[in-house]
Amino acid sequence: MVLVQRNSASCPGVVPYMNPINEVHVQEPGLAVVEVAAADAATALALQTALAAQWATATADQVTHDPGQPGVRLRCYLDLRQPLGA
């Protein structure tokens, strides 16, 4: 069982406002959640595109920006169980 909890605001380098990862997204080996932090939307979306070229990926349509925080954020979901490039 995966415990769901928010990141601690007292830990430096941890993003306190990110939503918890849903247990269904990591319920089996080979499933992964990728959190991307980038300077701009183009960079974050380019990384997502590179990941999607190799693995089945539930992609995000847009990035998010939290006021007062640097850069943008993106979350995508990977299924590594399929063969590379399939």
Q: What is the rounded distance in angstroms from the CA atom of residue 26 to the CA atom of residue 16?
A: 21
In a domain, residue 48? The reply is: yes
Mean pLDDT of 15-33: 66
Q: What is the rounded distance in angstroms from the CA atom of residue 43 to the CA atom of residue 15?
A: 19
In a domain, residue 64? The reply is: yes
In a domain, residue 66? The reply is: yes
The pLDDT of residue 40: 94
In a domain, residue 16? The reply is: no
Query: What residues make up the domain containing 42?
Result: 23-79
Q: What is the rounded distance in angstroms from the CA atom of residue 78 to the CA atom of residue 54?
A: 10
Residue-wise pLDDT tens digits, 25-74: 566 888 888 889 999 999 999 999 999 888 888 888 889 888 888 899 99
pLDDT band (50, 70, 90) for residue 22:
low
Report residue 8 CA to chain centroid gap.
Answer: 18
Count of the separate structural domains present in the chain:
1
The pLDDT of residue 54: 85
**What does pTM read for this prediction?**
0.65
